[in-house]
Structure formats: structure tokens, C-alpha cells
Chain A
């Protein structure tokens, strides 16, 4: 079956700290992988995506690499800001265009 597992939060970091949010998946076939972000009071927004193995998605200083050998898509950012405080969801899209989401990881960045 298809599923996504991401690290549980909440995560609290100081400004300019390094961020890693782990995400692993199980899927049949060759899924596309996504990170979505949900800022307080807003809907989900696509942060980045990767559609095949070894692709690196990047946006707003965040990046994640599609690792087929470890079935992972970890999200990283070198220096977080207060404005990055949000809930981050890892997701996969299977060949049937269905999305499966992780449980979300809440990130709080303190000044």
C-alpha cells in the first residue's frame, strides 16, 4: 500500500538553526513526492516537489531529495526564520493521482 511517515513534532528551533524534518514513504510503483506547508490560519501550500529518484526539489531555502534507495524525502533548511513557523506535511502522489499525507510536523522558530 501507500503511506507516508514523518517525524513527530512539535519542533522548536532558534532562528538561524538548521532544520531537518524526516519523511519516509512506502508506495507501489514510482510516486511523486511533495512537501506542503500550512501557515497558521491558512490552507496548505505546495512548498516543493520531486517527481523521480534523485530529483531535488527546492523553494524558499528549503530542499528535499528523492531517495529511492532509502525511500526518503527529508526536508532541510540551512537557516530557519521566525516566518518559517508552520506545519509541514510530507505527501506522495501515486500513479492513480491519489495523495497520501503524513501526519504533519509543527515547527516553531523562536527569535
Chain B
């Protein structure tokens, strides 16, 4: 149990285009989903926290108009990188948790990540 998927696993796009990344919890309902960005040989940097049905909370320094997050259901959150530029190239990882539910309390389950390359 506790499987989180991401789609696509990797994407190459032209500068100026928008890219949508999906994050799904496959076997549990995730009240909270997190989006991270991971740079090579560095740790995960939290970008935003999203709770189902409400607006995402962005970390300081993360442009909310650039990285649009939607958490429309308990099993799906999307991250849209708008007008992508080469500096947005990175590894984007989502995670899901459900603090109110049994064994999912206090634990995040991570998706496999999406590698974005903007040319």
C-alpha cells in the first residue's frame, strides 16, 4: 500500500511552453500533498503544500504564478510549470500524506519524480 505515482516520468519541452505534472495516490486518500524540487546532488526543497479543496501554501521564494498547484481531489494533485525556462529544469517530486488516517499519520509517501528539461 501507500503508492504514489507521477506522470510523466520525464518531459522535454521548449522554452515558453507550460508543462503539467500529475501526482496520484493510488491506494489511499491523501488529504495533503507536497511538491518538492531536487537539484543534482542536493536535498529536496519544499515548494508548496496543498490540501484537498483549498489553495496551496507556497514556500518563501517560490512563485505561485509560475508553479500552479491544483489539488482537486483526494487522490490527485497537479503542478503546472507555466512559461517554462531552462532554469526550471529540475527533478520534481510529489509526496502525499493523510495525517488523519492510521498508518499514514506523520509519514509522507513519495512519487518517483518527474524530470523536466526545458530547452
Q: Which residues of A contact B (CB under 8 A)?
A: 32, 34, 36, 42-46, 49, 51, 89, 93, 97-104, 106
B43 touches A (CB below 8 Å): yes
Chain B positions within 8 Å of A45 at CB level: 110
15 further interface pairs, Cβ-Cβ under 8 Å (given A45-B110, A46-B107, A97-B97): A36-B110, A43-B4, A43-B110, A43-B111, A43-B112, A46-B109, A49-B106, A51-B106, A97-B32, A98-B49, A99-B46, A100-B46, A103-B42, A103-B43, A104-B43
CB distance from A105 to the nearest CB of B (A): 10
Who on chain A is nearest to B31 by CB? A97
When A and B form their complex, what is the total count of cross-chain residue pairs whose Cβ atoms lie within 8 Å?
Answer: 46
- Chain B contacts for A104, CB-based, 8 A: 41-43
| In the complex, B119 has a CB within 8 A of chain A | no
Does any Cβ of A come within 8 Å of B44's Cβ? yes
Report which B residues bind A (CB closer than 8 A): 4, 32, 34, 41-44, 46, 49, 93, 95, 97, 99, 106-113
Task: For the complex formed, measure the closest distance between the CB of A57 and the CB atoms of chain B, giving whole angstroms.
Answer: 11
Chain A residues with CB under 8 A of B46? 98-100
Task: Note all chain B residues with C-beta closer than 8 A to A32.
Answer: 106
Main secondary structure of the interface of A (DSSP, over half): strand
Contact at B107–A49, with CB atoms within 8 Å? yes
A44 & B93 in contact (Cβ 8 Å cutoff): yes
Q: Contacts of A103 on B, CB cut-off 8 Å? A: 42-43
Given A43-B111, A43-B112, A43-B113, also A101-B44 (CB < 8 A) = yes
B93 engages A43 (CB within 8 Å): yes
User: Which residues on A sit within 8 Å (CB–CB) of B107?
Assistant: 34, 46, 49
Q: Which residues from chain A contact B43 at a C-beta distance below 8 Å?
A: 89, 101-104
Q: What chain B residues lie within 8 Å of A99 (beta carbons)?
A: 34, 46, 95, 108
The 10 residue pairs across chains A and B that have the minimum distance between CB atoms: A43-B112, A44-B110, A103-B43, A101-B43, A43-B110, A101-B44, A32-B106, A104-B43, A43-B113, A97-B99
A99–B49 CA distance with the chains assembled, in angstroms: 10
Give complex CA distance A65, B81 in Å.
40
Would you mind naming 19 contact pairs between A and B with Cβ atoms under 8 Å apart?
A: A34-B107, A42-B112, A43-B110, A46-B107, A49-B106, A49-B107, A51-B106, A89-B43, A89-B44, A93-B106, A93-B108, A97-B97, A98-B46, A101-B43, A102-B43, A103-B42, A104-B41, A104-B42, A106-B41
